[in-house]
A and B are shown apart, each in its own frame.
Chain A
Amino acid sequence: MYKVQDLYKEHGNKLSLKLVAGEGGMQRRIMVPEAQRPGLSLSGYLKNHAAKRILIFGKVEIEYLRDLKPAVRRSRLKKILFDMTPAIIVARNYRAPEELIMLCDDQNIPLLRTSMQTMDLLSRLTLLLMEAFAPTVSCYGTLVEVFGVGVLIRGDSSVGKSEAALGLIERGHRLVSDDIVKVKRREGNHLEGCGAELTRHHLEIRGIGIINVAHLHGVVCVRDTKRVDVVVKLEAWDDHAFYDRVGLDEKFCDILGVKVPFHVLPVKPGRDVVLLLETIALNHRLKDMGYNSAKEFNTKLLEMIAFKKETRAEK
């Protein structure tokens, strides 16, 4: 549940917000990540007026209200304020009309003021709200940036996720989060992972304990957020299982409705997991650039077979 107070606390400085009136309504819920300039609604046209949106008063709204007679001004403002209205923000440091201040105090609707330009405020506020409302899920796994590719390492407890992460860090890659990764679906349909505030940049290694990677290896080895590009599941080697030998069929897993390339990586003594993870990351980059090693090889093979067939026919 996102409240006006949360917005004010988290982003008040960024948006240079100042509370003018309606302090009692700071606990109001913001139900939709949308903001609106109430231009047309102020003129009295209230059909399809979105009451759940944050209202933003810019130059046009304020000037228009100034041109109205006080009684009309009050009645028009009253009509656009609902129980669901989360808050009102006046841009460009305009002084809010007396009637608006009184109404906000009466109805406990937070009235805020900012020095930002109206359009600037609208776009930044929308972005911040979209971020706060983005669907989130907690994934059990370790997120590491390998050659710029976000690799989410999953697998059962004690399969060696943290050890793999430590090996990657040692080779100059970056840790985002160990054990638990908060994954958010961002606009543009991509996933972004980050760690919990408390355990961020910490690894738990059996036999050693909890270590702080940022302190041990330096800040260059950590980062706060990273896009999740590939998911790799580590699992104990099973002699009877059939593992991907060619790589022609690409597997995907679904996180928050987004399809992410997925690999199963069997682990057994003698297999260098760190090197394998690096290879997966590099291969992913290559595929992203349009080159698929397995497909390329297959095409070459098919050409070779066709060529042999032709020469045989000629003979």
Chain B
Amino acid sequence: MMKLIRKVQVKNSLGLHTRPATVIVQLLQQSASRVSFTYRRETINARSLLSILMLAASKDARLTITVEGEDADAQQTMSRLVDAFENSFGENGNYGYQC
């Protein structure tokens, strides 16, 4: 068991809106670790869509990701999450939501 903590920044222009939140929830379905996000002294369960939306994190917001679980799973989950944040959840940084 291990606990990983990392800070990430929201890079897509529309912030953590419904689509990125869905990406996160979907991504976590493959993981067995316990994942939480902390933003503005609010810690939430990252598997819950509504909780992520509740944060209403805008562009450039800094979130802390905490992953607790089996070593390999925790590491993989963390790197996937960080990648998703880094890649702006597959959204175009300038135009935001793409239909």
Contacts and interface: CB of A to CB of B under 8 A. Distances in A.
Given A157-B48, A179-B48, A180-B48, A138 B53 contact: no
Given A138-B42, A198-B56, A180 B47 contact: no
Interface range, B side? 10 to 19
B8 interface: no
Contacts of A210: 18, 49-50
Contacts of B53: 198-199
A31 interface: no
A202 B54 CA distance: 11
A156 to B, nearest CB: 9
Contacts of A198: 53-54, 56
A210 B19 CA distance: 12
B92 interface: no
A196 B48 CA distance: 14
Interface in A195-236: 196, 198-199, 202, 204, 210
B44 interface: yes
Interface residues of A, number: 13
B45 interface: yes
B56 A140 contact: no
A196 B56 CA distance: 11
Given A180-B44, A198-B56, A140 B50 contact: no
B87 interface: no
A179 B56 CA distance: 15
B83 to A, nearest CB: 22
A96 B4 CA distance: 57
A140 B45 contact: yes
Interface string A148-192: 000000000110000000000000000000111000000000000
Interface in B23-74: 42-45, 47-51, 53-54, 56
Nearest to A203: B50
Nearest to B22: A209
A180 B49 contact: no
A178 B50 contact: yes
Interface of B: 18, 42-45, 47-51, 53-54, 56
Interface of A: 138, 140, 157-158, 178-180, 196, 198-199, 202, 204, 210
13 contacts: A140-B51, A157-B48, A178-B50, A179-B45, A179-B48, A179-B49, A179-B54, A180-B50, A180-B54, A196-B54, A199-B51, A199-B54, A204-B49
Given A199-B53, A199-B54, A210-B50, 15 more contacts: A138-B42, A138-B43, A140-B44, A140-B48, A140-B51, A158-B47, A179-B48, A179-B49, A179-B50, A180-B44, A180-B51, A198-B56, A199-B51, A204-B48, A210-B49
